[in-house]
Amino acid sequence: MTSSDVPSGQATPAIRTADILIVGGGLSGTLLAMQLLRLPGARHIVVLEPRAELGRGEAYSATELGHTLNGNAARMSVEPDDADDLTRWLQAHIAGGGWPESGVQQVPVAELFPPRGLFGVYARQRLAEAQAIGAAQGSSLSHVRDEVIDLQTPEQGVIATLKDGSQWQAGVAVLATGMFPAARTAQRQSSGLNAAALDPWDVQALRALPVDARVLIIGSGLTMVDALESLNQAGHRGPIEVFSRHGLLPHVRRQPPVWEDFLSLAPDLRSPLQLLRELRRQCTLAQSLGIDWQAPLDTVRVHIARLWSQADDTQRRQFVRHVRPWWESHHHRSPPQGDALLQRLLEEGRLTIHAASLQGVDSSGPRIRLRYRGQSEAVWIEGDGLINSTGIEYDWRRVDKPLPRQLLQRGLIRPGNLGLGIAADAGGAVLNAQAEPVQRLFAMGPPLRGMWWESTAVTDVALQAKALAERLASL
């Protein structure tokens, strides 16, 4: 079977077959398919993804040029063994007349922050090249445009049931479901926030607001930066009020010089508190030498998975409770373009940041009413529009979608550490409710947040894809 798009709704056999099923065709599923197609051997790979294009998912379906990657090109290669791959692709793309706006930034291509939509084009091209390699070896890729609502693991393999009622069976399946953005994910025990909120990436919906509307935003991380850009693209000129528990904003990402990998020299450093103390010491040292404090911080990334996986639950809870907000604002930094807009809005007095927790939402009247608590008593504030920018929902128990709900009820999966994602072994085999590996069901990318902590960045996903592809090919 050659690579094809199989639209839902067509008459199909009761159960169709494949060698490997990939549930999700965003970046995670696409990079896994790419790695599998390159490996020797003939295999039929089916990606089950309702979107029209593979390689985009939630993150790279953005169409606005202002919605850029939060890492520069040198940090975002989909090739785990070639950090310069995206840089070279961009150079060729720009030379061919693509992305003419890139010249405004006046920096080397490796330091550019491409639009997320353009990154999706890059990922799709690399997949197409892998398909050509696979075809020469007898492998094929099919994209089935439908949502998986259930998985079962009989003795003969894995059976996926799709929303249209059709089924696919394969020897193994991989949960590459990507991220569940809080703004686009129905949640159990919801506060009603999403029912009243506008999508932070839907510029068209934001254009429906009055140009001078008072907009309320919940969350102050990178999704909030995207929301500001969306409002800017929509022509909004009114006041913006941002509410988050700590009121922390993402730092801007800079290009610091290389710093010594101090964690490699300190193998006994394990706990989050030890890491925080040593990191502060290293950043202070860098600043005393006139070097950007981001230099020591950037050396930590390669050690995160090891540090998180070897920590116990008490240490992980300490990190999440006491360190996480500052880690997120310092480590998940804003692209320069987004930060420039944020700083301009602050200087103009249009943007106000509140350190406050959400207490409730009332959308029954003509205006949105938000109840929040700061340092004193809870108060109400009114606005013309509300945006949910609380980021990603990693707890599958809170995601009100058919597949997570069914897998949890069936006991085929169990929550990951601290309820983050789902549990798996070191090679990606999913653990069931009894903590036993399900040998025919695997996971990669954001679902493994609880296992590796950082499991969403392109470099993390690319490494996981290569390792998992090799494991699947050996089964």
Dist CA 129 CA 141 (whole Å)? 12
> How do residues 372-421 score in pLDDT, each as one tens digit?
998 778 899 999 999 999 989 999 999 989 999 999 999 999 999 999 99
Domain range 183-251+333-388, its CATH number among 3.10.105.10, 2.40.50.140, 3.40.50.720, 3.50.50.60 = 3.50.50.60
Structure tokens at 441: 């069901």
Rounded distance between C-alpha atoms, residue 134 and residue 218, angstroms = 45
pLDDT in tens, the chain (475 residues): 334 455 555 544 579 999 999 999 999 999 999 999 999 999 999 999 999 999 998 889 888 889 999 999 999 999 999 999 999 999 999 999 999 999 888 899 999 999 999 999 999 999 999 999 999 999 999 999 999 999 999 988 999 999 999 999 999 999 999 999 888 877 655 566 877 899 999 999 999 999 999 999 999 999 999 999 999 999 999 999 999 999 999 999 999 999 999 999 888 887 777 888 899 999 999 999 999 999 999 999 888 888 888 888 998 998 888 888 999 999 999 999 999 999 999 999 999 999 999 999 998 889 999 999 987 788 999 999 999 999 899 999 999 899 999 999 999 999 999 999 999 999 999 999 999 999 899 999 999 999 999 888 999 999 999 999 999 999 9
Q: Residue with structure tokens 């202070």?
A: 284
pLDDT digits (tens, 9 = 90+) for 110-157: 999 999 999 999 999 999 999 999 999 999 999 999 999 999 999 889
- Percent helix / strand / coil, the chain, rounded to 5: 40, 20, 40
When computed from its CA atoms, the radius of gyration of the chain, rounded to whole angstroms, is: 23
For residues 1 and 391, what is the distance between their CA atoms, to the nearest angstrom?
39
Instruction: Supply the angle between the helices 116-137 and 85-95 in degrees, to the nearest 10.
Output: 110
SS (H, E, C) 253-277: CCCCCCCCCCCCCCCCCCCHHHHHH
**Ranges assigned E (strand) in 121-166:** 140-145, 148-152, 158-162
Beta bridge partners of 383: 368
Place of tokens 């998985």: 151
Tokens coding 133: 């390699």
Q: Would you state the structure tokens that stand for residue 213, as one six-digit string?
A: 């509307």
Tokens of 293: 């404090």
> By C-alpha distance, which of 124, 122, 127 is closest to 33?
127
Same fold, 4-67+115-180+394-473 and 183-251+333-388: yes
Residue 379 is inside which H or E element, if any?
Answer: strand 378-383
Give the tokens for residue 41: 């051997």
d(CA 57, CA 27): 6
Q: Does the model's pTM come out above 0.75?
A: yes
Q: Are 240 and 228 in contact (CB under 8 A)?
A: yes
Edge to edge, the sheet with strand 378-383 lists: 357-362, 368-373, 378-383
What is the spatial distance between Cα 349 and Cα 431, in angstroms, rounded to a whole number? 51
Q: Which among 438, 412, 415, 418 has a CA at the least distance from the CA of 427?
A: 438
HEC profile of 340-353 = HHHHHHHHHCCEEE
- Domain positions in the chain: 4-67+115-180+394-473, 183-251+333-388, 272-331
DSSP string, 379-419: EEEEESEEEE---B---TTTB-SHHHHHHHHHTS--B-GGG
Instruction: Identify the residue whose tokens are 């919605």.
Output: 67
418: which residues sit within 8 A by CB, 6+ positions away? Answer: 313, 316, 317, 320, 450
At residue 393, the 3 state secondary structure works out as: coil
- Nearest Cα to Cα of residue 76 among 253, 249, 264, 279: 253
451 SS3 class: helix
Question: How many other CB atoms are found less than 10 A from the CB of residue 470?
Answer: 13
Neighbours of 401 (CB within 10 A): 15
In what side-by-side order are the strands of the sheet with 148-152? 15-17, 167-170, 158-162, 148-152
Beta bridge pairs of residue 109: none
Q: Which fold has domain 4-67+115-180+394-473?
A: FAD/NAD(P)-binding domain (3.50.50)
Query: Which residue, chain included where needed, has tokens 């990939």?
Result: 22
Q: Which sign does the torsion angle of CA 75, 79, 83, 86 carry? A: negative
